[in-house]
Structure formats: structure tokens, C-alpha cells
Structure 1
Amino acid sequence: MSDNDGKKTLGVRGGPRSGNVKQSFSHGRTKNVVVETKRKRIVKPGAKHGAAGASGNKPNTPVGDPSKRPAGISDSEMERRMKALQAAKEREAEEAAKRAAEEKAREEERQRRREEAEAKEREQREAEERAKAKAEEEERKRREAEEAAQKAAAAPAPEPERAAPKAAPRKEKEREQQQPRGGKGRGRGGDDGRRSGKLTLNQALSGGEGGRQKSMAAMKRKQERARQKAMGGTEQREKVVRDVQLPEAIVVSELANRMAERVGDVVKALMNNGMMVTQNQTIDADTAELIIEEFGHKVVRVSDSDVEDVIDQVEDKEEDLKPRPPVITIMGHVDHGKTSLLDAIRDAKVVSGEAGGITQHIGAYQVTTDSGSVLSFLDTPGHAAFTSMRSRGAHVTDIVVLVVAADDAVMPQTIEAINHAKAAEVPMIVAINKCDLPAADPDQVRADLLRHEVIVEAMSGDVQDVEVSAVTGDGLDELLEAIALQAEILELKANPDRAAEGAVIEAQLDVGRGPVATVLVQRGTLHQGDIFVVGEQYGKVRALINDRGERVKEAGPSVPVEVLGLNGTPEAGDVLNVVKSEGQAREIAEYREKAAKEKRAAAGAGTSLEQLLAKAKEDENVKELPVLVKADVQGSAEAIVQAMEKIGNDEVRVRVLHSGVGAITESDVGLAEASGAPVLGFNVRANAPARNSANQKSVEIRYYSVIYDLVDDVKAAASGLLGAEIREKFIGYAEIREVFKVTGVGKVAGCLVTEGIARRSAGVRLLRDDVVIHEGTLKTLKRFKDEVSEVQSGQECGMAFENYEDIRPGDVIEIFEREEIERKLD
């Protein structure tokens, strides 16, 4: 509604023409407004021009009475206006009620917060008063105790009981003074557990009254500070000096943890020394030593390798040593009867279990002789691929029995065995086997050994020699007597009452039992349940199995046993040590694994850029045959890898992508497919998923049980990568007599075949003054006007070269043929 001068005014229907209206706003604000009511001029039909009518906006105006509403407004329009007016009034009433409710809620919230703040402040005052009273009480008790002590020192009959009654009334009075305050605070709703009012939405969303609550430790620290303040000073804690173990490099947060200092203080000290570091950065040992000394602690320098110091390296005392069985290693050339000889001694048929009658693994057995002596035998393979295994066998042994066939004399691997025994400084006994054969010649064997500085007793030497026959059993007793005599000379002793130490003879991954290691105990006694570390692996002895397949509780010195309970497959030749805790074992194994990785990385990175480029250039010209090897035991896998490395030459080589122990798995097939390599399984098979994957991906899997066959097949496959050798065969010479120019052909040489045959399919070289100036093929070879395939010696012919016309009379044409010869690796 607006007046004549354009200002807006408020209109009130049914009210006076003018007056004041009080308006209410949020936050309690009000305003008086002048209200003026004007009547609208109504022009009625038939009325005179300019006559004024009554207002048609009254709410009690009937809708259906056309005489009482403005002209030109229909019934529906009038009804719509009335409804809109009614809705506007309802909205105004709702908003007013809502504003009033919000204002009331805000006022209640303000009142509640004021009460809570007062209650909290009151509780804090009461807590401080209680702490102060408690501090005063403790101080009073301390003074009274001192006075009582002084009185006791001065008088012979002290009366300490009088101090206690004095404290009781005062303490009771203080409790009575504090009680009404606490009760009053709780009655007013100051207690956190008895808040007045309901939980509002704002309170719930804001996380309560104070948001983050203090911890119990923070409250205790606050009370301690208040107590010290009430006592009139801060109590200085006694500094604890610690021995801080300091490695070569350490993280700042770890340094603070070892010193039991706050990280912020350590970072601040480093910054004061000019090092802007964070708590997650690493500092060197020298800097850390300065910080440790600055905080007043003692430095204990350690290195990563110190974790191995827990392994007991104490030398055994003489009185603790007890006799132990000797460890005998059987060595010799392949097929000279080593395993058969051992079978004859222990009355077992081990050879029947080996493929092709060849020992593929190191076997460890114990034999008890007729005299009651216990002997531990190691049966090493005689094949050349197992040189490293045989070397390990020599280093854990006490006596070497060198088996030489009487009908075959000394062979290359016999010489290797002699060298291994000499390098290990182990006494040797020569067993001349197969003496029952008609072609046997033991004297020839002794003479051959003499050439390799092995002088037997029969030839005035100090090496015992025994003629035996594994088939008939002849000479076995003499051999055992010789071994017992040698062992008696050596006086072998060990301390069985200490932590066990042994060598891994063989290791394999058994499907049902997991990683299994064949261990020869050298010192101490290995018990079931012992925690040990072996190489880069560790574990707890779950079971011990002897050479007869029986479970035993312990294994003493010189006893070979299978150990179950490892977390991984160790390398053959690793040393087993028993430690006190699993944590120590894990720490040592992790350190050794890390050191091995760093060593391999250093070996790879220890070359210059020029060397790398040169090697890459060499590799471009070398063809590789990638293979993937899986074997049943660690020693076999290692031997196969070494044999693969020896196959090849400057043009072709075999690259072992991966070698491992256990069944062929799907991941092995995936690696082989990515590299285009075959999978070679030695005494293992592929599982069902691996077989299905190999069929789908067309990956070749080959199984072997004899190492000869595997090496021969790989060698044949590598030979296929060799380029065929091209050889030239000279078949004739021709001399150019005249040069003709023929249209459409070019220059044609009129030649005389002076030697051999000229063939069109052969290669030719043009020689001028015995210097090759062109090499190529013939375009034409004619005899008179006819094209011919060959021309015999002494006949004339015409020759034209392909894409070459610089020919002159007197030039010589050399005619040759090329033939390809297939090459093989040695």
C-alpha cells in the first residue's frame, strides 16, 4: 500500500484509520511503526463519475454479492485473493512462533552454558583447594616426622603417638569445610554426570561442552604441577643415564626413543648444532654421538654385523670334550662303485633308488660295525657337475675313502677328489674296488696314484690301501679296520653339552613337510624345539629324522639328521647355529639376507659405464638360450645351473632365468612363457594348474631323472642357435680375352675357362692383378649364342656380371660355390 507521495505504509484491515503498531525482530529488538488505513475508491455500475465507494477488501465481504466488491473482479479471482491472504496470515503466525521458540532455546542454551562454566570453575577451585590442603597435610606430616626424629635422637623414650591425634581434628575440619561446597555444586547441576536440561542438537554436533577431553595422564600431570606449586617450588627429577646403542646411521625418532627423550628436544638440539632435520630423517653416527653426549647419556657403538655376536663362539674346554664317531666321505670317479661299496657295508640297497644307478644327491648314513664302532658316512656323487657338492662334503669330513676301480684306474674325477681331500687337509684311505673282475689290476692303480703324489703303504707310503669287492664283500672288514685305525689316530672329540652347530649337507622342499635340510651335527647336541639360524633362513626344530627314517628327540656330534621346521630352503653347505630366541634368529637371518642382496647389487654396480656399454655390445652378437630349472633338492639345482653355465661359446650361451627347489608351479610357467624358455624339471613334476597353463600357453616342460640326459638335450638345443658354418669351394677360373658391348645387355666378357668348370649358379669374383675388385653373381653365361648352365675347362664362353660392367681384357674370373656345414657345441 502506498500514499500519494510514493512512500510505503502499512495497512490494517478492519482497524482505525491511523495508529501505532509494535513490531518484534530477532535478538529481542522491537520497533514502533505508524500505520495508516486508506479506503479504495469503488466505482459502482450506474453511479455518478467520481463517486467514492466503500472498500472491497474487507474479509467479511460476501464473494457472491456483486454489489459489494470492486467492478471487473470475477468470483474465482476474488476467491483466489482471499485464499492468498489467509495463507499469508498463517505463514506470518508460524514464523513469529518459530522465532519465539528459537529465541527461547537460545536463551536456555546461554543460561545452561553459564551454569556449566560456573560449575566447571567451581570444581577447578575445589580441586586446587583439595590439592593445596593435601600438600599442606603432607608438609605438616613431614615436619612432624622430622621433629619426632629429632626428639627420638634427643630423648631415649620418644612418644611418636602424639603426632597422629593432632592431625585428625584438623583433617576432619577441612573435610567438613570442603563437603558443603561440593554438595552445593552438585545440587546446582555442576557435576558432569548430572547436567540439567536436555541434550540439544548443537551440543551433540559440537562434541559436548569442551570438544576434545583431557586424558587421565594429563589430569595427573596437572595435579602434580599443582602439588609442586603448592609446596613452593618444582621438584627436580633425577637424570637417568642410559647406554645408547649407536649403529652407523640412525633415524632421529629412533635416537630419541633409545635415549628416552622427547623427539622435539632432540630435533631442537640438532638445529642448535646447525642441522635442520626432521624426526624421520637419518643422521650419521658421529652427529648422533654428539647429541647423545649433550643429553648426558653414554654411547655404545655397534654395527649391523653385531647381531651375529649372539652365536656362541666360545672354544670348548678340554675336560668337556668327549669322543665322537668319525665322518667318512666316499669319493671317486663316476661308476667306480662308491654307493655299491657303501651298500655292502650297511646292507642296504640305496643304489636301486637312484635313477640310472647314479647318485644324484649327497647321502648321509650311520653304520655300526661288528666291533661296535659307529661310523658316519657321506656318499657324494661322482659326476663332474657335482664338484662343488663334493667340495662341501670334503670340508665337513674327517676321513676320505677314495674309491678307484681296479679295471679302470685313475680317472679325471678321481684326480678332482684327490685335490679336494688335499685342500681340506683330510687323511685319505684308498679302496681299490672291483677286484673280483678278471681285468682288475690293483698294482696299476697304485702306480697311477703315485703320479698324483698319493703314495700307498704297499709302495712304502703313509696312505692306507685296501683291495675290496662290493659284489662279493671281500676286503670290507679290512676297510672298516683301516677306518677305525685312522679315526683312533685322529682322536676325534667334541663337546655334546653346548649349543648345536652343524653343516647342511643337502636341502630340499618337500610337498608334505615343507623345507627339509639334511644336517650333519659337528658340535653340541641338536634337540627338538631348538631355535636355530642357518644361512639366510631360520626356524624351530619341529622334528628330527635319522638316516633310517625314525624320529629322534636329539642328535649329537657326527650324527646326520633331517631337520624340519625351517621357514625357507637353505643352501647346501650353510652352517646351522642354535640361538636363544626366535627374535635373535630372525634378526640374524634378515641381516644375512640384506648383506647378500647388497653384495649382489655391488657386484652388478661395480662396473664402469664403458664396461657396461662394451658388455651390451658383446651381448648383441651372442645368442641366448633361456631355460628355467626346477629340481628336487638344492644341490641338484646348483649343479645343473653350473653345468648350464659351461655350455656355449662366443656365439651362443645358456641363460638360467630361474632355478629353484620343488614342483613346477603356475608362476614358473608364466615366467617361461614371457621369456620363451622351456622348463626343465629334474626329479620333479608340474602340478595340475601348471600343466593346464603350459598347455594353454604352449610352454614346453621336460622331465629328467639323470643329469647326463638334461645336459645333452640343452647342449643340442643350444647348438641349433649356432649359425651354420659357410665354406667356399673353388670350382674354376676363367680369363677375359675380349670385351664386347651388346645392346640391351651391356658389356659382355669373352672368356676362356682355364681351370675347372664355370657354372651360372655359382658365385664369381673379378680379379685384376690378383686383387679382388668385385664379388657377385653372373647375369648371363653363353656358349656361342645359347644360354648354358655350365662350361667346361678349355672352352670359350661369354659372361656378363649382375650390376657391374667395369671389366677389361686380362682380368681373371674366380668361380666358387658355398656350402653350409651344421655346427655343434663341444
Structure 2
Amino acid sequence: MSDSDGKKTLGVRGSGPRSGSVKQSFSHGRTKSVVVETKRKRVVMPKPTGAKPEGGSAAPVGGDPKKRPAGITDAELERRMKALQAAKSREVEEAAAREAEEKARAAERERRRAEIEAKEREEKEREEALKAKAEEDARRLADEQAAKNAPPAPAADPAAAQAKEARGPARTTPARKETDTREADRAKPKGDTGDKRRSGKLTVSQALRGGEGGRQRSMASMKRQQERARRKAMGESQDREKVTRTVQLPEAITVSELANRMSERVAAVVKALMNNGMMVTQTQTIDQDTAELIIEEFGHKVQRVSDADVEQVIEQVQDDPKDLKPRAPIVTIMGHVDHGKTSILDAIRKARVVHGEAGGITQHIGAYQVETDGGSALTFLDTPGHAAFTSMRSRGAQVTDIVVLVVAADDAVMPQTIEAINHAKAAKVPMIVAINKIDKYEANPDKVRTDLLQHEIIVEKMSGDVQDVEVSATTGQGLPELLEAIALQSELLELKANADRPAQGAVIEAKLDVGRGPVATVLVQNGTLRQGDIFVVGEQWGKVRALENDKGARVKEAGPSVPVEVLGLNGTPEAGDVLNVVATEAQAREIAEYRQSAAKDKRAAAGAAVTLEQMMDKAKADESVAELPILVKADVQGSAEAIVQAMEKIGNEEVRVRVLHYGVGAITETDVGLAEASGAPVIGFNVRANASARQTANQKGVEIRYYSVIYDLVDDVKAAASGLLSAEVRENFIGYAEIKEVFKVSKVGNVAGCLITEGTAKRSAGVRLLRENVVIHEGTLKTLKRFKDEVASVPSGQECGMAFENYEDIRAGDVIEIFEREEVERTL
């Protein structure tokens, strides 16, 4: 813009309004273009650095130094101008990118809107087609029904029929259409404003406007209506036949679960209960009798079940004799401690198991499988012989087929030998006597045979039916004959098992391994245990993650009479529990939970079956008995069980050992906390405390003692319990004195002039005053004088003066008995 004389006038670039259009979107996919005016911001552009001033001469690159801010050099000014230009170029690029993004979004919105509209048209056309087809089918069925029920029509005039056919179908006039509409409205039920169903799938636009029209019918409701219309048109009955179900009814059940098992509505079941006078909710539990009344009221059948029925899935099925195949015998080696049980097994296995046991004695049940020279397999169980392991020997006898009783030829029958004989008799298993240490000079096998006669064990050499073999684990003498005797006995037993069935076995030992978790040594008795099997054992369950044989090698399966270590349990089972394979994980979990609940109830019932008087008597008895509390952690379940049984035998009527807690696995911080609260030491048998437990024990002053031999553990606990016993007080008589005369001394009282007739009188000793051989006073001396001097003792034959502490009734002729008390420590 310029004026008449050619000079530029002052103006702002782009400051005026500018027209434009914006596309506005509405519901149902409609759009509308709206014309709007936009105002542009005033942009003030700085004057370029290199521009010529009005004078015409070019300014320096850095500008006029006089007009430049103080302290700004040419280079700094140039750098700032470049940064300004770069910022402007970035703004232009960002504006272009935003515009392109807006265009892309608009195009995407248009595409989605087109898709939605196309889907809506397609759904509408499909719905209309379905509706037309349904109406056509209904009209056709109605015409057919009317044709069947209508009387035969009179013969029509052929000429009239031809004329009607020539006219074609009747045309609907507007008046006729209006009349039909009025009749249809009149035929509608009152309050019906038309069809409110949704057509097709629910779209975004329909959902957005759904709140305006209120709640609408679902597609499922429309389908049910169409089905009812079709049935009505076809003349089918609307009443469905009542389905009678057999409902399994436990001892207690919730209302919602009862409705679910009957396939009835919960509201109907609640209503039925209310009609019977029970105001309940769907989460409340009702008893079995009430639930049976409701089930019969609804027309169903009742099958009463109990919680114990969950174990029916593991009930044993009788095996078909055709499926039974020979299996290896299970041989348990039993006997007294140090009679050579493990050494014989080592010689048979050609292994060195005994060197791996602490103290050279077996403290775990070991299960091994041995193959003889003849190719037959034998499964051996090695049991401990120590007195503390009674339950282990009993468990070994219960799962065995043959018992090998080891008796040392130089030691004959001992207490644990007798115990092993009783276990074998109780289990009703045949016995083979192995007379060991036959190579020793002092060996006397005939004495062993004679001693066994006292326990009704008559060996073959003495015309009995029990096999006996003289063996030596050191030289190997008699071992082939022992294996031959075992093979002969197993042939007589005709041992067979079915390998093609779910496995069943006995837990020989269980422990908690740090790296592998709970591990159970299982002896498979029936069936085949495979990797991946789901099983339940006692109160625990699991899935076989891995199987390891007695040599530590991984195996895929274990058949009858095969001992394996099972990994994959959710907890450590009790030694002696039975393992059963089940079909599903749900069954295993359900059985384990039932067994845990039953065990908890049993413990609670045992604790509750005590009267108040019994509790008071027990509390009084506990007050008079000193207790030594201890915590026991062992490497395996059998060892922990044996230690607890040994602790229960320690003590008498004055002191006893109380095991606060025992378990399997390493000593943890929780064990240390319990020990600190109860003031008890922690005993670790073949286990150690972890780092946090050691640190906590040092901080709280809890004693942790480690043992690997059960002898040492029992001896130390017995010594500690003996320390709680009160010391025994013994009296030693040291002298007698006879009172010759009584003197009355001021500030002292009566003083007896005595003659020491026997022994010695001591100032620190205790005295008794005897009158006619009857004790009338017992106490201590207040003074012991020889002439006028206080002395410590007076020997026999000399005279002295004595005065009693707090007693003055002394007479001439009385006898003074002088004695000393000595405390003697007692032991258990």
C-alpha cells in the first residue's frame, strides 16, 4: 500500500480477518460445513542484520556498535540471530506437521464413519430381511392352518376367476393403507408404543443415544420372542417338560450352591425356604435335612453324600489274576545296634553306606535295589538299630515281605533284637536269621540259636522252620547262601503285583531339601509311578516332577517293589503315609484338604475332651514339675520322630523334657524367635541354621546346638535335665555331747556345760537336742566356748559350753547330736 507521492504507509501484515470453513460432526454420522472467520496474530519481523539503512551504506554484520547492547560482540550477535532463524524454521515445520496430522485424523474419522454407516445399513437390511421372512413364514403357516380347518369352498365361476387373474393382484390404495394402520394400532396392547428392539449389533452411536430413549430390549430377549412366535405359529406347546435331577447333598450346603445343583433360580429357592419359615439369604448354610425337603419340593431326587466320600476315588479295585505279574521281594534288615546290618547290606551292594553315616550307625531308613547273580532283583530296607528308632523299625516291618534278623555271634540276642522279633511277628512276615561276625574268635552261633528259643524262634538247625545263615560282612562268608535263602523264601511267597494300574506306595522317609524342596522316599507296592502323575500322600498332594532311584539317577517310571525319591510335593509328608495316584489335580487337592480338616478336628476334639477339674489338676501337677523346653529340627521326618520319642522318655516325677516344636529342614529365623520367647535351646540334627537365623540367635542370645549322632544328643539333653533336679541333701553325724550342768549367763541366756562323748563338736555344724532319745529341738549353735574362749571345734573327751540359737529349754542329762549337711547332685 502506498500514498500518492509514492511513499509506503504504515500497515500490519496479515492482521485483517479471513474467512474459512469448518466441518462439524453430529450423531448418526451426519456432518455439516460451517463458515467461520479467523483472525491472524500480528507477527513483527525483526530487521535483517545485513539490510541497508536509509542512508544507503551497508551496516557491518554485527550492527552499529553504539546501538548494540553493552558487552555483546559481533560473533555473539551473529550466533543469536542464527538461533532465532532456526527457531522460526522449527515453528514453521511444526505447524506443517500439525496440519498434516489434523488432515490424517479427519480422513480416519471419515473412513470410520463410512464403515459404521455401511455396517448399520447392512444390519438394517439383514434385520428387515429376517423380519420379512418371519412374517412370510407365519403368514404361510396361518394360511395352511386355515386351509385345513376351512370347509370346502363352493365352485368358483371360471369366468370370474379369469377376470380376477387378468386384473392382477389387488392394489393397496392410500385409504386402504390408512385403515390397515388404524386396525393394527387398535390391535396393539395398551402401553405398547412399537418395537423397541435393537437392530443388529450395538454401535457406538447407538450406545451414545441409548440413554435418551431409556432401557432397550436385548438381542437375546428378541430371539426368545421370535422363538415363542415360531412355536406358537407351529402350534407347539409352550410348557416345557420338568427335568428331574439327582442332587448330591453334603452334610451342609449354601443356598446358592443348592440352587446351582438343582438348576433352579436362587430367588425361587429362597422363596421356598421362606415359605417353610426360614428367613435366609443365598450365602447362608443350611443343614442336610432342610435341603432335602427343598429338593423334594422342587421335584428332584436326593443323594446324600458325606465329606469322607472324596476318598472314594482312591478305593482299591480288586486286580484280575490275569494281570498279576511276579515282582521283587521287599527285604527288611533288622537287629540290634552295631550288629552289622548295614555292613551286610554294603557287602551285598558292594557299596560303602556305613561310612556315610555319622558315628558309623544308621539313623535313616535306606531303600536299595540289588540284582543278584541269577538276574533276579531284591529290594532291601535298612533300618536303624538304636533304641530311639522304634517307629522306624515298625514302619519297615509293615511294608516288607521278608525280615532278615541280624544277630552278632559274639553278642547274642539284645533288647533291640527282641523288639525287631516282635515287629516281625506283629506284621506276620517270614523271618530269616543272619548270624553275623562269624569270623571273630569269640563268636558262638549256637548261643544265638539257643537264645532265640526263648522268643519262640526255632531255626532249621534245631529242627525248626526258620532259616538261619552264618555270615561275615567283613570276609563275605555266607552272603551267597543268604541271598539264596531270600530267593527261596520269595518263591514260596509267590509275590505278584499289577503294574498296569495307578500307583500305590508307602513313604519310607521324608525330608525337606534346600535345593529340591520336599522329597519323599517312596516304595511302590502296586502299579507304576510315572513322571507327571498327580498323587495324594497323607495330608499333602503333588505332581511327580522327577523320580530318582537309589543310585541318584533320574528315571521316568518306577514299578512294583522299586524304591524311588519323589520330587514335586507341596509339603513334607509323614513317614509311613500311603501314596495314591489320582486322576485330576482337583481330586488330589480336595482329598488333601479333607484330611487336613479331619486331622485338625481330631486334634481339637482331643484337646476339648478335658474337664475343668482335669485341667486344674494338670496345672497343679505342672507347677511341681520342672520342664526343660527344646526345639528340634532334623534332616528327615523319621529322625525328628525318633528324637521326639527319645525326649519323652527322659525325666521323672520332678523334671521332664518338653519338645515345643519339631520339624524337618534348616533352622530358620522363626525357630529362633520361638526359642527366644520360650527360653529354649534349638537342637539341629544333621541340619544347620541359615545366615539370618544365626544372626538373630547371636543378637537374642539363643543357643543353637548341632548333633549328628543321636547318642550324643540324648546324653546332653539328659545332662541338662539333670541340672533341673534339686540336689539331694545327706546328713553326716560327726559327734555327740552330754549336758552335765546348765548355767545362766547374763546377755547370753542358758548355757549348757557339756562333755563331748563321741566325735567332734563344730561351730558351723547343725545340732539336735535329744531328751530321752526324742528330738525336741533342731537348730544351730549360738556359741561354742572352751573355758572363756570362743572356739571352732572341740574334740572328744573335752568339756565345753554350748548355747542354742533362739532356744533355752535345756536340762542336765540331755544329749546333743551334732551333724553336717552335704548336697549331692542327682542325675536321671
TM bucket (normalised to shorter chain) is 0.7 to 0.9
- Residues 522-601 of structure 1: matches in 2 within 5 Å? 522-601=525-604
Counterpart residue type for residue 527 of structure 1: R
Residue 817 (structure 1) aligned with residue 824 (structure 2): no
- 2:736–2:759 Cα contact (<8 Å) kept: yes
Which of 702, 705, 722 is matched with 1:719 structurally? 722
Post-superposition shift, 1:746? 3.5
Identity over aligned pairs, percent: 78
Change (3 A) 1:295 1:217: farther
Change (3 A) 1:235 1:760: farther
Unaligned runs of 5+ in 1: 1-128, 152-165, 200-206
Distance in 2 (CA, whole Å) between partners of 1:146 and 1:548 is 85
Is 289-298 or 632-641 further displaced after alignment? 289-298
Post-superposition shift, 1:731? 2.7
- Residues 214-363 of structure 1: matches in 2 within 5 Å? 216=218, 235-363=238-366
- 2:684–2:705 Cα contact (<8 Å) kept: yes
Distance in 2 (CA, whole Å) between partners of 1:791 and 1:731 is 11
Post-superposition shift, 1:322? 0.7
Distance in 1 (CA, whole Å) between partners of 2:486 and 2:317 is 30
Q: How many residues align?
A: 664
Q: String of CA shifts for 1:24-49, please: whole Å, max 9, x gaps.
A: xxxxxxxxxxxxxxxxxxxxxxxxxx
Residue 378 (structure 1) aligned with residue 381 (structure 2): yes
Change (3 A) 1:796 1:366: same
Distance in 1 (CA, whole Å) between partners of 2:259 and 2:265 is 6
- 1:680–1:704 Cα contact (<8 Å) kept: yes
Aligned match of 2:74: none
Change (3 A) 1:584 1:795: same
Aligned match of 1:730: 733
Distance in 2 (CA, whole Å) between partners of 1:223 and 1:554 is 59
Post-superposition shift, 1:755? 4.0
Q: String of CA shifts for 1:762-817, please: whole Å, max 9, x gaps.
A: 22334455554443322222333332223344544433333334445555443322
- 1:361–1:381 Cα contact (<8 Å) kept: yes
- 1:431–1:465 Cα contact (<8 Å) kept: yes
Q: String of CA shifts for 1:730-751, please: whole Å, max 9, x gaps.
A: 3334455555443333444444
Which of 700, 703, 711 is matched with 2:703 structurally? 700
- 2:388–2:645 Cα contact (<8 Å) kept: yes
Residue 626 (structure 1) aligned with residue 629 (structure 2): yes
Distance in 2 (CA, whole Å) between partners of 1:504 and 1:638 is 14
Which of 409, 413, 421 is matched with 2:412 structurally? 409
Q: String of CA shifts for 1:272-307, please: whole Å, max 9, x gaps.
A: 333344444333222221222122221111111111
Change (3 A) 1:193 1:521: closer
Post-superposition shift, 1:562? 0.8
Distance in 2 (CA, whole Å) between partners of 1:244 and 1:800 is 97
Distance in 1 (CA, whole Å) between partners of 2:469 and 2:236 is 95
Aligned match of 2:806: 803
Change (3 A) 1:369 1:254: same
Residue 453 (structure 1) aligned with residue 456 (structure 2): yes
Residue 521 (structure 1) aligned with residue 524 (structure 2): yes
Residue 614 (structure 1) aligned with residue 634 (structure 2): no
- Residues 360-371 of structure 1: matches in 2 within 5 Å? 360-371=363-374
Change (3 A) 1:405 1:296: same
Which of 787, 792, 806 is matched with 1:784 structurally? 787
Post-superposition shift, 1:235? 4.4
- Residues 101-116 of structure 1: matches in 2 within 5 Å? none
- 2:630–2:681 Cα contact (<8 Å) kept: yes
Post-superposition shift, 1:184? 14
Q: String of CA shifts for 1:251-274, please: whole Å, max 9, x gaps.
A: 333333333333343333333333
SS of 2:378's partner is strand
- 1:363–1:379 Cα contact (<8 Å) kept: yes
Post-superposition shift, 1:820? 0.4
SS of 2:592's partner is helix
Residue 420 (structure 1) aligned with residue 423 (structure 2): yes
Which of 469, 472, 475 is matched with 1:469 structurally? 472
Q: String of CA shifts for 1:368-409, please: whole Å, max 9, x gaps.
A: 111111111111111111110111101110011111111111
Which of 672, 676, 679 is matched with 2:679 structurally? 676
- 1:336–1:403 Cα contact (<8 Å) kept: yes
Counterpart residue type for residue 650 of structure 1: E
Q: String of CA shifts for 1:77-107, please: whole Å, max 9, x gaps.
A: xxxxxxxxxxxxxxxxxxxxxxxxxxxxxxx
Post-superposition shift, 1:182? 12
Change (3 A) 1:729 1:236: farther
Which of 646, 649, 655 is matched with 2:652 structurally? 649
Aligned match of 2:107: none
- 1:683–1:703 Cα contact (<8 Å) kept: yes
Counterpart residue type for residue 535 of structure 2: F
- Residues 149-160 of structure 1: matches in 2 within 5 Å? none
Q: String of CA shifts for 1:541-592, please: whole Å, max 9, x gaps.
A: 1111111221111111101111111111111111000000000000101111
- 1:724–1:821 Cα contact (<8 Å) kept: yes
Change (3 A) 1:184 1:551: closer
- 1:228–1:235 Cα contact (<8 Å) kept: no
Please, what TM-score do these two structures have when normalized by structure 1?
Answer: 0.74
Change (3 A) 1:222 1:314: closer
Post-superposition shift, 1:684? 1.2
Counterpart residue type for residue 259 of structure 1: M
Distance in 1 (CA, whole Å) between partners of 2:635 and 2:601 is 28
Change (3 A) 1:498 1:769: same
Q: String of CA shifts for 1:387-432, please: whole Å, max 9, x gaps.
A: 1011110111001111111111111111111111111010011111
Q: String of CA shifts for 1:637-670, please: whole Å, max 9, x gaps.
A: 1111111111111111111111111111111111
- 1:132–1:227 Cα contact (<8 Å) kept: no
Post-superposition shift, 1:246? 1.7
- 1:736–1:809 Cα contact (<8 Å) kept: yes
Counterpart residue type for residue 377 of structure 1: F
- 1:766–1:811 Cα contact (<8 Å) kept: yes
SS of 1:254's partner is helix
Residue 639 (structure 1) aligned with residue 642 (structure 2): yes
Distance in 1 (CA, whole Å) between partners of 2:195 and 2:131 is 20
Post-superposition shift, 1:177? 7.8
SS of 1:816's partner is strand
- Residues 192-207 of structure 1: matches in 2 within 5 Å? none
Please, what TM-score do these two structures have when normalized by structure 2?
Answer: 0.74
Aligned match of 1:500: 503
- 1:391–1:420 Cα contact (<8 Å) kept: yes
Distance in 2 (CA, whole Å) between partners of 1:228 and 1:671 is 75
Aligned match of 1:389: 392
Change (3 A) 1:662 1:150: farther
Q: String of CA shifts for 1:39-91, please: whole Å, max 9, x gaps.
A: xxxxxxxxxxxxxxxxxxxxxxxxxxxxxxxxxxxxxxxxxxxxxxxxxxxxx
Post-superposition shift, 1:473? 1.1
Which of 436, 441, 444 is matched with 1:441 structurally? 444
Change (3 A) 1:450 1:142: farther
- 1:780–1:800 Cα contact (<8 Å) kept: yes
Distance in 2 (CA, whole Å) between partners of 1:614 and 1:215 is 75
- 2:738–2:813 Cα contact (<8 Å) kept: yes
Counterpart residue type for residue 345 of structure 2: L
Residue 398 (structure 1) aligned with residue 401 (structure 2): yes
Post-superposition shift, 1:132? 12
Change (3 A) 1:286 1:775: farther
Counterpart residue type for residue 276 of structure 2: N
Distance in 1 (CA, whole Å) between partners of 2:379 and 2:525 is 11
Counterpart residue type for residue 356 of structure 2: G
Distance in 2 (CA, whole Å) between partners of 1:210 and 1:639 is 79
